[in-house]
C-alpha cells in the first residue's frame, strides 16, 4: 500500500498511548478503542483506514471490529472535517428556537450542505441531534465548544470571527438556578385555575 | 408537618444546584471550602456500606435518568461480596431531548459527582467506578478529568480513600455520539469497546455488568443526590415530595418559556408552578407540553394536566412518564406533525439497528411516512397506517428506544388528531412554518 | 417444569427457552436470528407469542388463584414476548396463535420485508430460504410500504469464496455472531447503525478457516457460496448426505448435485462430530471433481501412449501379468482416505496374490489409535486440554470443539425437534476459559491465540517434553523445554485435577514411536483421555483393519524403493519423487488408480479411473473411532470406480472369485471387527473405539531423526487438488513455504515470491511466506499425501526462484 510510508500515529506519542491504555484494567484494554479513536481524530480531524488498522494492532483486535465500533458513533469521521466543524443541534427544543433557520443561514453563508467540508478545509457543517443544551437553545457546537442562545446577530458574528480566525471562547448565559437562589425564586404565584 | 411540594415553600432550599453558575465552582478548593468531601469522609469512616444502602433505600430516591427505579433497591441487588471486581457506573450520557440537568453538574460541580461516586462505590463495595460521559460534553469532560486528577492528588481517590480502608478509583470514559448509550447495557458495551447495542437481560448488571462483573449503573443526579441524603439523612430527603416520589428533582424547561432553565424543585410540585412561577410563563400561546424529555407522551396545555403534580405515579396515571424532568413546551401554532417529524427523526437517527421493529420501523418507515405527510402528499388511510405501524412497533422491540419514539407519536395523534387529518386533507400543515430564530 | 403451549401441556427441563417449548409441543413460530449452537439474541423479533405465568403470593408463598376457576391465575406479560430469549417458568402459558401474537408476527414480517428486495426469482436461495418460507407462512401477503427500498451493494465480494448482497440482508446477525462465538475470529461486523447498518469486513478477505458456514447460516440470500453461485436452483439439486473424506473428523456434509455435476457442499448436522459447522477446505475443496481433466475410462499402455480400454480388457491384462508373479512380488498401496470396504478389498486381493506388501499412506510410525480415546463431545466438555501440534490445520473441527470447551457449556440435550433452537446457556461474547487450554507446537499455530498457555518448542522434542511432563506428574524433578517449571507444574496439576482432561497430539508426535509412547505414558500418568489426529479421513480405520505390511521390509517406502515387481496403487503419486520414479519405471506392472493424470500415471502400464470421495459408497472410521457412512452423489465420473470394484475386477479376471463378493466380505469383516452393521449405521455414526495394537513395525522413508532443517506440517488444504479448486486457490493461494525473516533475508527471499525446492526428492513449488513467529532456521512445508508430517533434512541449495512477486 502507498500509505505505509506514513508514520504510525502513536509512534511519537507513546506517553499519550500509555496514558490512555493505563486508564483501563488489563482485562479491559479493549475499552481504549474509543479514546484512541478520539485521540487520532482530535489531531487529524478524521480517522483514516490506516489509523483504524493501527488501533486494531495496538489492541490486538481486528480492524473490522474497530471500524464496527467507530462507525456506530456519529462523532467519528471517516473524511476530514473542517478546521471549524460547525454542528447545529436540530432536535426539538433547538428547532423550536430557530435552528432550522440557523442551518439555512449557515448553509447559505458558507455555501455548504449538511455533512460537507469546504475545499479549503476551513469549514464543515453538520446537523446533529440533541446536544443537551435545550434550555439555552439554539446551540451550535463549533469543534468542542458549545455556543448557546445563538440568535441571528450572534450567528453572523461567529461566522465573521471564524473567517478572521478570531473565534472567541463561548459565553455563558443561563437562567434558572444558575442565576443563584435569589434570582431563581418563583416569579409569580399562579392562580390555581385558568390559563390565558 | 406537611411535606415540601412547592418552591414557594420557604423551607425549600436548593441543594445540588446551589453553586451552579458561581465562579470557580468546579474547582476543588471551592468545593472543599463549601464542605466538600466531608460527607464521603463521614460515610467511609463512620458508616458501614449496608447503612448507606439502607439510608438511600429509606430516602425513597428514584433513579433520575428516566426510569425511576429506586436506587437503594437497585444497589441491594448486588450479589454478596465474593472477591470479584465490582463496578459502580455513572451514566452521564445525557442525551434525551429536553434534558440538560446532568451537564451542569458535570461542568460546574464535578466534585459533587466524584464524592457521590465514592459514596456509591463504598455502598456497593465497588473499588472501581466508571463515569461514562457523552462525547459532546467537552467542557464537562475536561472539568471532570481535571477534577478527578485533583481528587486523586488529594487522596480522595486511590488507595485508602480519605484515610479509610477503602480503595476506590474512577475511570472517565467518553462517548462519541450515540443516544442508545444512555441505555445501561448499551453503555456497558460501549465502555468495553464494543458497538453500543443493548444487551439481553437477564443477566442484569448486578449479576454480569461491566466486563462481566457485578455492576450498578446510576444517573448523575441520582449519584449526586446520594451525597446529600447521606449528609442530611433520609428523613430530610423525604421531607420533600410525596410518599410515591420523595426528594427533589431537576426540571429543565425549554420551548417558548419566559425563563428557560434548570430548576431544582421538590417532587410533588405542579407543572403549573414550574411553568408559570419558575419559568415565568410562556412567551406565546402553547398547546402542549412534554413532561420529561421527548420520549414522554405530551400533555395538552390545559388545567387538567397543568395541575398534575410531579410524581412518578401521577404522571404515569395521566398517560405519560416523569422521565428526566425535561419539559418542552410546544407552541400553539407549531404544526404537531412537523414537531413529531423532528422527534421521529431523532429516534430514527439514534436507533442502533439491532432489532427489526426499531431498524425498519422507527429508523426507516416512520420518517418516510412523516416526510410524505409534510410534503403534502398524505392520502386517506395514511393516518390509520401510521397508527397501525406504530402499534406493530410498540412493545415489540428489543429495548425501550422504539417505544420512546412510538409513545410520543401515539400521544400526538391522540391529542391532535385533527392536525394530522388536516394535513392529509389539505396537503399542508394547519399552521404555516414560522421562524422563531431570535435576533 | 410444566408449561402449556397452545393448550398442550408439557413437562420440560428448567432453563428451556420458550421457543423450544413451542417446538417441543409440535407448534411453530417463525424466527430468523436464533440458530442452533449460537447464542439467542432476540433481535429479529419474529418469534413473538403471548406469554403469561402464574404468580406466587410473596407473603404466603402460595399461587395466586383465579377467583372464578380456583386455578392459579395467569398473569400475562403486557407485550408479546420473544420466545427465543424467554426462559420457561413453572406453569407458563405460551400462545403463539393468540390474536395479538399473530398480529405481532404479521407486523414483523412486514417490517422485515420493507427493505428486502424480494428478488426471489433471481436469488440462489430461492426455494430454500427461511425468509421466503416464513413470509409466506406468517406474512400478510401484501406490503403497505410504499417508499423506495434501501439501495445497497448487491455484489459485494467478501472473499473469493463468499459474496454478499447487502440489499437482501435482514440483519439477523447470525454471520457476525458465528465468527465471534464459534471460531472466535472477529472478521465480520456491522458497520454504521440504525437503518443504515450493513455488514462488512475491513480485513482483506475473511481470515478464518470456517468462513463458508455463514452461507449456510444466512436465513436469506445475502451470503452466498461463490463456488455454487448461479449453478442451479435448490429444488433441482439432488441432496446426498455423507461424511467428508477431507480430514479425519468425518464431518457430516450434504452434496448438492445436478446433471452429473457436484455444485455445492453444505454442512449437515452431526451433533456428535461437527455439529453444524465445516471448515472451508471441506466445503469449497470439491470443484476438482467436475474437472474436464478427469480420467474417465481405463487406459492401457500402447507403446508411449495410454489408450482407452474397457475395465474388462485391462483387468484381463493385469491378471495376466499378476499370474506370472511369484508370491510376495506384488504390492498394493491405498491412500489413507480410502474406505474400509476398499481396505478390505485390498487385503483380499493381497491374500489372493499371496503378498504381504500392502500399505496405506500417508501414515506414520506410530499408531493413530489411542489407548483411552476421547470423543469430540468429551472434548467439548473438557476442563483441561493439552494440545501438542497443529490442530487447526490437521483437523479444523477439533479446533472448534476445543473452543466449545473454552465456553464451558456442555453439548445440549436434544429435543424431539432436534438441537435446541435457543440454548439460553449460550451468550454473545462469552468469557472464554482460556486457562483450561495449553498449546505447544514447534511453531506459532492458530490455536495459540485462544490458549491460556502457549509454548513454541524446538521441532522434534515431543518425546522429551512428554517424558519430562510425565516425570513431573510422578513427582520427580524435571524441566520441560520451552516451559518454565511453574508453567509445567501448573499444566500437570490442571490435567491431574480435571474431571475430563484430554491430550491431543498429531503427526509430530507419531513420527517417532518413542514420542508416541511418551505421549501415552503422560496421558496415563495424569489420567487424561487422548485424541490423536490422523493425517487423513480413514487413517484410523485403515490401521484398525490392518491395511498394513506383513513385514517392515514391505512398507510404503520400501515398495517405492523396489521391494516389489508389480504395484497397484490408488490415489497416490509417488513418481513425483524423483528418487522413486526410477524404481517405478522398472516395475513389471504398474497399475495406477487415479482421478487425474500425473507423474505416476505417466509411468503406468494401466491407469484406472478413480472415484472421488463424493462418489464412493462405504464406511470410514474417524479419529474418535466412530464408524461413519460415506454415500455417493450422482456425479458423472465416466467409468470411474472405487478400489473395491478394481480389486473385484482383477480377482474375477484371475478366476479367483470366492463364494462371496468383496462387498459382503467387507460387511462381515466390519461386523466382526467393530461389532456394527455397516449397512445400518446410525446417521451420526457408531462410536466403537478400539484398543491400539503395538506400534507398527513397518519402516517408513521419513526416518525418525533428531536433526532436520524443515518440517512437513499439516495443512487443511488438499494440495493435490488445489490447482483444480479455483475459488479455494484464489482465496488461500498456492502452497506456502513459511520461514523466519532471518532465513528469508539470508536467501534473498521476499514475501509472495514463487520458488521451487527439492523436498526430499519431490520438486515442489511454493509461495514464500515470511513469519517471524517461525523459529529461525526451520522452514515449514505443507504436507502432500505422499509426505507424512515430520522433520526432514532439506537440501536448501535446491531452492530456485521461479518468479518475482507481482
With an 8 Å Cβ cutoff, are A71 and C192 in contact? yes
> What tens digit of pLDDT does each residue of B226-285 get?
999 999 999 999 999 999 999 999 999 999 999 999 999 999 999 999 999 999 999 999
Residue C317 scores a pLDDT above 70 = yes
Residue with cell 493435490: C720
Task: Tell me the C-alpha distance between C345 and C547, whole Å.
Answer: 10
Q: What is the pLDDT of residue A6?
A: 79
Domain for residue A181, yes or no? no
Residue C17 scores a pLDDT above 80 = yes
Question: Which distant-in-sequence residues (6+ apart) come within 8 Å of C433 by Cβ?
Answer: C405, C406, C407, C408
Cβ contact C593:C314 at 8 Å = no
Q: Is B188 on the interface with C (CB under 8 A)?
A: no
Mean pLDDT for chain C overall? 95
Domain for residue A182, yes or no? no
Interface of C with B (CB under 8 A): 40-46, 48, 78-80, 82, 85, 103-104, 106-108, 110-112, 114-115, 144-145, 147, 150, 170-171, 173, 189-190, 192-197, 427-429, 431
The architecture in CATH of the region B336-438 reads Up-down Bundle (1.20)
- List CB contacts (< 8 A) between A66 and chain C: 202
> What tens digit of pLDDT does each residue of C547-563 get?
999 998 999 999 999 99
- CATH number of the domain encompassing residue A145: 3.40.30.10
- List CB contacts (< 8 A) between A152 and chain B: 437-439
- List CB contacts (< 8 A) between C425 and chain B: none
Q: Is B344 on the interface with C (CB under 8 A)?
A: no
CA of residue B184 relative to chain centroid, distance: 12
Q: Is A31 on the interface with B (CB under 8 A)?
A: yes
Same domain, A111 and A51: no
CA of residue B411 relative to chain centroid, distance: 20
- What percentage of chain C carries pLDDT values higher than 70? 98
Q: Is A176 on the interface with B (CB under 8 A)?
A: yes
Nearest CB partner across the interface for A132, out of B95, B191, B329: B95
Mean pLDDT of B162-166: 94
With an 8 Å Cβ cutoff, are C202 and A61 in contact? no
- Domain, as residue range, for A43: 14-72
Same domain, A159 and A101: yes
Residue C806 scores a pLDDT above 60 = no
Nearest CB partner across the interface for C191, out of A61, A62, A68: A68
- The ipTM estimated for the assembled molecules is 0.95
- Read off the pLDDT band of C329 (50, 70, 90): very high
Residue C495 scores a pLDDT above 80 = yes
Backbone angles phi, psi at C737, to 5 degrees: -105, 115
Going by C-alpha positions, the residue among C601, C603, C602 that lies closest to residue C593 is C601
- Read off the pLDDT band of A191 (50, 70, 90): very low
Same domain, A149 and A110: yes
Residue A192 scores a pLDDT above 50 = no
Q: Is B195 on the interface with C (CB under 8 A)?
A: yes
Taking only residues 87 to 126 of chain A, the set having a beta carbon closer than 8 angstroms to any beta carbon of chain B reads: 90-93, 95-99, 101-102
Which of B95, B354, B405 to mutate: most C Cβ within 10 Å? B354
Residue C694 scores a pLDDT above 60 = no
Cis peptide before A138 (omega within 30 of 0): yes
DSSP E strands, C376-448: 384-388, 437-441
Q: What is the pLDDT of residue B1?
A: 63
Q: What is the pLDDT of residue C705?
A: 55
Residue A195 scores a pLDDT above 50 = no
With an 8 Å Cβ cutoff, are C110 and B392 in contact? yes
Q: Is B159 on the interface with C (CB under 8 A)?
A: no
- Min distance A5 CA to chain B CA atoms (Å): 29
Domain for residue A115, yes or no? yes
Q: What is the pLDDT of residue A181?
A: 74
Q: What is the pLDDT of residue C701?
A: 41
> What tens digit of pLDDT does each residue of C247-260 get?
999 999 999 999 99
Mean pLDDT of A151-162: 97
Same domain, A59 and A110: no
Q: What string of H, E and C letters represents the secondary structure of B13-78? A: CCCCCCCCCCCCCCCHHHHHHCCCCHHHHHHHHHCCHHHHHHHHHHHCCECCCCCCCEHHHHHHCC
Measure the N-to-C terminal CA separation of chain A; round to a whole number of Å: 70
Better pLDDT: C514 or B57? B57
Q: What is the pLDDT of residue A194?
A: 40
- Read off the pLDDT band of C205 (50, 70, 90): confident
Same domain, A61 and A34: yes
With an 8 Å Cβ cutoff, are B261 and A174 in contact? yes
HSE (side-chain half, CA atoms, 13 Å) at B85:
17
With an 8 Å Cβ cutoff, are C193 and B351 in contact? yes
Could you tell me which CATH class the domain B6-238 is placed in?
A: alpha beta
Residues of chain B with CATH 3.40.50.11540: 6-238
Q: What is the pLDDT of residue A27?
A: 94
Q: Is A129 on the interface with C (CB under 8 A)?
A: no
User: Quick one: cell of C785?
Assistant: 499425501
User: What is the C-alpha radius of gyration for chain C, rounded to an integer number of angstroms?
Assistant: 29
- What percentage of chain C carries pLDDT values higher than 90? 93
> What tens digit of pLDDT does each residue of C61-98 get?
999 999 999 999 999 999 999 999 999 999 999 999 99
Beta-carbon count within 10 A of C121 CB: 6
Cβ contact C158:C129 at 8 Å = no
- List CB contacts (< 8 A) between C188 and chain A: 64
With an 8 Å Cβ cutoff, are A72 and C202 in contact? no
Cβ contact B209:B186 at 8 Å = no
> What tens digit of pLDDT does each residue of B179-226 get?
999 999 999 999 999 999 999 999 999 999 999 999 999 999 999 999
Domain for residue A179, yes or no? no
Nearest CB partner across the interface for B351, out of C40, C110, C194: C194
Task: Tell me the C-alpha distance between C237 and C10, whole Å.
Answer: 38
Q: What is the pLDDT of residue A1?
A: 39
Q: Is B355 on the interface with C (CB under 8 A)?
A: yes
With an 8 Å Cβ cutoff, are B395 and C197 in contact? no
| Domain total in chain A | 2
Residue C795 scores a pLDDT above 50 = yes
> What tens digit of pLDDT does each residue of C515-552 get?
999 999 999 999 999 999 999 999 999 999 999 999 98
Same domain, A34 and A98: no
Which of B21, B104, B197 to mutate: most A Cβ within 10 Å? B21
- List CB contacts (< 8 A) between A196 and chain B: none
Residues of chain B with CATH 1.20.1440.230: 336-438
Mean pLDDT of A50-66: 96
Q: What is the pLDDT of residue C401?
A: 98
Domain for residue A6, yes or no? no
Residue A196 scores a pLDDT above 60 = no
Q: What is the pLDDT of residue C552?
A: 86
Q: What angle do CA A52, A54, A60 make, to 5 degrees?
A: 100
Task: Tell me the C-alpha distance between B185 and B216, whole Å.
Answer: 11
Same domain, A157 and A93: yes
Task: Tell me the C-alpha distance between C571 and C590, whole Å.
Answer: 13
- List CB contacts (< 8 A) between B348 and chain C: 194-195
Same domain, A64 and A94: no
Residue A2 scores a pLDDT above 70 = no
> What tens digit of pLDDT does each residue of C408-454 get?
999 999 999 999 999 999 999 999 999 999 999 999 999 999 999 99
- Read off the pLDDT band of C697 (50, 70, 90): very low
Nearest CB partner across the interface for A93, out of B13, B98, B276: B98
Task: Tell me the C-alpha distance between B98 and A148, whole Å.
Answer: 15
- CATH number of the domain encompassing residue A44: 1.10.10.1590
With an 8 Å Cβ cutoff, are A63 and C188 in contact? no
With an 8 Å Cβ cutoff, are B328 and A92 in contact? yes
Mean pLDDT of C709-713: 94
Amino acid at each position: 500500500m502507498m500509505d505505509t510510508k506514513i508514520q504510525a500515529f502513536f509512534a511519537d506519542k507513546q506517553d499519550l498511548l500509555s496514558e490512555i491504555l493505563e486508564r483501563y484494567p488489563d482485562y479491559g484494554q479493549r475499552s481504549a478503542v474509543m479514546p484512541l479513536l478520539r485521540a487520532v481524530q482530535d489531531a487529524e480531524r478524521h480517522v483514516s483506514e490506516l489509523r483504524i488498522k493501527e488501533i486494531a494492532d495496538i489492541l490486538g483486535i481486528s480492524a473490522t471490529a474497530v471500524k464496527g465500533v467507530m462507525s456506530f458513533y456519529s462523532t467519528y469521521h471517516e473524511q476530514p472535517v473542517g478546521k471549524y466543524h460547525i454542528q447545529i443541534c436540530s432536535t426539538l427544543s433547538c428547532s423550536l428556537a430557530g435552528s432550522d433557520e440557523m442551518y439555512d443561514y449557515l448553509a447559505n453563508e458558507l455555501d455548504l450542505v449538511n455533512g460537507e467540508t469546504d475545499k479549503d478545509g476551513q469549514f464543515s457543517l453538520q446537523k446533529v441531534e440533541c446536544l443537551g443544551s435545550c434550555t439555552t437553545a439554539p446551540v451550535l457546537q463549533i469543534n468542542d465548544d458549545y455556543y448557546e442562545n445563538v440568535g441571528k446577530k450572534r450567528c453572523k458574528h461567529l461566522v465573521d470571527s471564524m473567517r478572521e480566525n478570531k473565534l472567541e471562547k463561548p459565553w455563558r448565559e443561563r437562567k434558572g438556578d444558575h442565576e443563584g437562589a435569589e434570582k431563581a425564586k418563583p416569579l409569580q404565584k399562579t392562580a390555581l385555575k385558568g390559563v390565558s | 408537618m406537611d411535606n415540601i411540594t412547592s418552591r414557594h415553600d420557604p423551607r425549600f432550599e436548593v441543594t445540588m444546584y446551589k453553586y451552579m453558575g458561581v465562579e470557580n465552582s468546579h474547582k476543588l478548593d471551592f468545593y472543599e471550602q463549601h464542605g466538600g468531601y466531608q460527607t464521603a469522609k463521614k460515610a467511609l469512616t463512620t458508616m458501614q456500606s449496608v447503612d448507606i444502602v439502607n439510608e438511600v433505600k429509606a430516602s425513597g430516591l428514584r433513579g433520575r435518568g428516566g426510569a425511576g427505579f429506586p436506587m437503594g433497591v437497585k444497589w441491594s441487588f448486588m450479589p454478596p461480596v465474593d472477591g470479584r471486581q465490582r463496578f459502580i457506573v455513572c451514566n452521564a450520557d445525557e442525551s434525551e431531548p429536553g434534558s440538560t440537568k446532568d451537564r451542569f453538574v458535570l461542568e460546574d460541580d464535578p466534585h459533587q459527582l466524584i464524592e457521590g461516586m465514592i459514596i456509591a462505590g463504598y455502598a456497593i463495595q465497588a473499588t472501581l467506578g466508571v463515569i461514562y460521559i457523552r462525547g459532546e460534553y467537552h467542557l464537562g469532560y475536561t472539568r471532570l478529568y481535571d477534577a478527578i486528577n485533583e481528587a486523586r492528588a488529594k487522596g480522595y481517590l486511590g488507595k485508602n480513600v480519605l484515610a479509610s480502608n477503602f480503595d476506590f478509583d474512577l475511570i472517565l470514559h467518553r462517548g462519541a455520539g450515540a443516544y442508545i448509550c444512555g441505555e445501561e447495557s448499551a453503555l456497558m458495551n460501549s465502555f468495553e469497546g464494543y458497538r453500543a447495542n443493548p444487551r439481553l437481560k437477564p443477566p442484569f448488571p448486578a449479576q454480569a455488568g461491566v466486563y462481566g462483573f457485578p455492576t450498578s449503573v446510576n444517573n448523575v443526579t441520582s449519584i449526586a443526590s446520594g451525597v446529600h441524603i447521606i449528609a442530611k439523612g433520609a428523613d430530610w430527603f423525604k421531607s420533600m415530595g410525596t410518599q410515591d416520589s420523595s426528594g427533589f428533582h431537576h426540571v429543565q424547561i425549554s420551548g417558548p418559556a419566559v425563563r428557560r432553565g434548570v430548576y431544582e424543585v421538590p417532587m410533588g410540585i405542579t407543572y403549573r408552578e414550574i411553568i408559570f412561577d419558575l419559568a415565568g410563563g410562556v412567551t406565546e400561546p402553547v398547546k402542549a407540553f412534554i413532561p420529561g424529555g421527548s420520549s414522554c407522551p405530551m400533555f395538552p396545555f390545559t388545567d387538567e394536566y397543568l395541575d398534575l403534580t410531579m410524581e412518578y405515579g401521577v404522571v404515569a396515571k395521566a398517560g405519560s412518564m416523569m422521565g428526566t424532568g425535561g419539559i418542552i413546551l410546544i407552541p400553539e401554532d407549531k404544526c404537531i406533525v412537523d414537531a413529531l417529524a423532528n422527534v421521529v427523526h431523532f429516534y430514527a437517527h439514534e436507533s442502533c439497528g439491532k432489532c427489526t421493529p426499531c431498524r425498519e420501523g422507527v429508523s426507516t418507515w416512520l420518517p418516510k411516512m412523516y416526510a410524505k405527510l409534510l410534503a403534502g402528499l398524505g392520502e386517506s388511510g395514511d393516518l390509520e397506517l401510521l397508527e397501525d405501524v406504530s402499534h406493530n412497533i410498540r412493545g415489540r422491540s428489543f429495548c425501550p428506544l422504539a417505544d420512546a419514539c412510538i409513545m410520543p407519536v401515539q400521544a400526538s395523534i391522540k391529542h391532535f388528531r385533527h392536525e394530522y387529518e388536516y394535513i392529509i386533507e389539505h396537503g399542508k400543515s394547519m399552521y404555516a412554518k414560522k421562524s422563531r430564530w431570535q435576533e | 417444569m410444566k408449561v402449556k403451549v397452545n393448550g398442550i401441556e408439557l413437562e420440560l427441563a428448567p432453563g428451556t427457552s420458550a421457543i423450544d417449548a413451542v417446538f417441543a409441543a409440535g407448534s411453530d413460530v417463525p424466527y430468523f436470528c436464533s440458530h442452533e449452537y449460537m447464542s439467542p439474541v432476540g433481535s429479529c423479533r419474529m418469534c413473538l407469542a403471548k406469554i403469561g405465568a402464574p404468580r406466587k403470593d410473596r407473603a404466603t408463598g402460595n399461587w395466586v388463584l383465579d377467583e372464578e376457576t380456583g386455578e392459579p391465575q395467569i398473569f400475562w406479560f403486557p407485550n408479546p414476548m420473544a420466545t427465543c430469549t424467554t426462559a420457561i417458568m413453572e406453569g407458563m402459558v405460551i400462545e403463539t396463535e393468540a390474536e395479538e401474537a399473530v398480529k405481532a408476527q404479521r407486523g414483523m414480517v412486514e417490517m422485515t420485508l420493507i427493505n428486502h428486495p424480494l428478488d426471489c426469482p433471481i436469488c440462489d436461495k430461492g426455494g430454500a430460504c427461511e425468509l421466503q418460507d416464513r413470509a409466506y407462512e406468517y406474512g400478510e401477503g401484501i406490503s403497505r410500504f410504499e417508499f423506495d427500498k434501501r439501495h445497497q451493494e448487491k455484489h459485494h465480494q467478501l472473499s473469493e469464496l463468499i459474496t454478499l448482497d447487502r440489499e437482501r440482508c435482514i440483519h439477523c446477525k447470525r454471520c457476525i455472531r458465528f465468527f465471534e462465538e464459534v471460531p472466535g475470529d472477529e472478521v465480520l461486523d456491522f458497520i454504521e447503525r440504525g437503518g443504515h447498518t450493513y455488514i462488512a469486513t475491513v480485513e482483506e478477505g475473511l481470515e478464518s478457516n470456517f468462513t463458508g458456514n455463514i452461507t449456510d447460516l444466512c436465513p436469506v440470500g445475502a451470503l452466498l457460496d461463490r463456488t455454487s453461485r448461479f449453478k442451479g436452483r435448490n429444488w433441482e439439486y439432488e441432496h446426498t448426505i455423507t461424511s467428508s473424506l477431507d480430514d479425519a473428523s468425518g464431518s457430516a456434509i450434504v452434496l448438492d448435485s445436478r446433471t452429473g455435476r457436484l455444485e455445492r457442499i453444505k454442512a449437515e448436522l452431526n451433533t456428535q462430530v461437527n455439529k453444524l459447522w465445516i471448515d472451508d477446505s471441506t466445503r469449497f475443496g470439491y470443484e476438482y471433481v467436475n474437472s474436464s481433466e478427469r480420467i474417465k475410462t481405463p487406459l492401457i499402455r500402447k507403446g508411449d501412449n495410454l489408450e482407452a480400454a474397457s475395465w474388462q480388457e485391462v483387468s484381463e491384462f493385469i491378471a495376466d501379468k499378476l499370474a506370472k508373479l511369484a508370491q510376495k512380488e506384488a504390492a498394493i498401496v491405498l491412500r489413507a482416505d480410502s474406505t474400509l470396504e476398499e481396505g478390505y478389498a485390498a487385503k483380499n486381493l493381497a491374500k489372493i496374490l499371496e503378498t504381504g506388501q500392502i500399505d496405506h499412506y500417508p501414515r506414520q510410525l506410530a499408531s493413530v489409535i489411542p489407548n483411552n480415546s476421547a470423543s469430540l463431545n468429551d472434548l467439548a466438555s473438557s476442563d483441561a486440554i493439552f494440545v501438542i501440534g497443529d490442530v487447526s490445520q490437521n483437523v479444523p473441527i477439533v479446533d472448534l470443539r476445543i473452543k466449545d470447551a473454552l465456553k464451558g457449556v456442555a453439548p445440549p440435550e436434544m429435543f424431539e425437534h432436534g438441537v435446541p433452537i435457543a440454548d439460553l446457556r449460550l451468550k454473545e461474547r462469552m468469557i472464554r476459559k482460556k486457562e483450561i487450554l495449553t498449546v505447544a507446537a514447534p511453531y506459532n499455530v492458530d490455536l495459540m491465540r485462544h490458549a491460556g498457555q502457549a509454548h513454541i518448542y524446538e521441532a522434534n522434542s515431543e518425546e522429551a517434553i512428554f517424558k519430562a511432563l510425565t516425570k513431573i506428574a510422578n513427582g520427580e524433578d524435571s524441566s520441560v523445554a520451552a516451559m518454565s517449571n511453574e508453567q509445567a507444574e501448573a499444566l500437570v496439576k490442571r490435567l491431574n485435577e480435571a474431571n475430563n482432561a484430554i491430550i491431543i497430539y498429531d503427526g509430530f508426535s507419531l513420527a517417532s514411536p518413542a514420542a508416541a509412547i511418551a505421549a501415552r505414558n503422560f496421558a496415563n500418568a495424569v489420567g487424561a483421555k487422548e485424541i490423536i489426529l490422523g493425517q487423513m479421513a480413514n487413517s484410523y480405520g485403515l490401521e484398525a483393519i490392518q491395511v498394513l505390511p506383513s513385514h517392515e521390509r514391505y512398507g510404503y517406502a520400501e515398495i517405492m524403493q523396489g521391494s516389489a515387481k508389480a504395484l497397484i496403487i490408488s490415489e497416490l503419486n509417488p513418481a513425483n519423487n524423483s528418487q522413486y520414479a526410477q524404481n517405478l519405471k522398472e516395475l513389471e506392472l504398474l497399475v495406477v488408480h487415479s482421478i487425474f493424470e500425473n507423474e505416476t500415471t505417466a509411468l503406468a502400464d494401466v491407469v484406472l479411473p478413480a472415484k472421488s470421495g463424493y462418489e464412493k459408497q462405504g464406511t470410514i472410521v474417524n479419529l474418535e473411532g466412530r464408524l461413519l457412512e460415506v454415500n455417493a452423489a450422482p456425479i458423472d465420473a465416466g467409468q470411474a470406480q472405487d478400489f473395491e470394484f478394481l480389486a473385484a475386477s482383477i480377482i474375477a479376471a484371475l478366476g479367483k472369485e470366492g463364494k462371496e463378493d468383496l462387498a459382503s466380505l467387507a460387511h462381515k469383516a466390519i461386523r466382526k471387527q467393530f461389532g456394527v452393521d455397516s449397512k445400518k449405521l446410525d446417521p451420526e455414526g457408531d462410536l466403537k473405539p478400539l484398543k491400539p495394537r503395538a506400534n507398527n513395525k513397518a519402516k517408513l522413508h521419513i526416518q525418525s531423526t533428531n536433526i532436520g532443517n524443515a518440517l512437513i506440517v499439516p495443512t487443511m488444504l488438499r494440495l493435490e487438488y488445489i490447482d483444480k479448486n479455483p475459488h479455494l486457490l484464489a482465496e488461500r493461494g498456492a502452497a506456502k513455504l513459511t520461514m523466519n525473516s532471518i532465513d528469508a533475508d539470508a536467501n534473498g527471499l521476499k514475501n509472495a515470491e514463487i520458488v521451487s525446492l527439492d523436498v526430499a526428492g519431490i520438486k515442489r513449488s511454493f509461495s514464500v511466506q515470511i513469519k517471524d513467529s517461525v523459529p529461525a532456521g526451520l522452514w515449514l512445508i505443507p504436507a502432500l499425501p505422499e509426505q507424512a508430517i515430520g522433520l526432514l533434512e532439506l537440501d536448501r541449495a535446491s531452492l530456485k526462484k521461479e518468479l518475482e512477486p507481482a
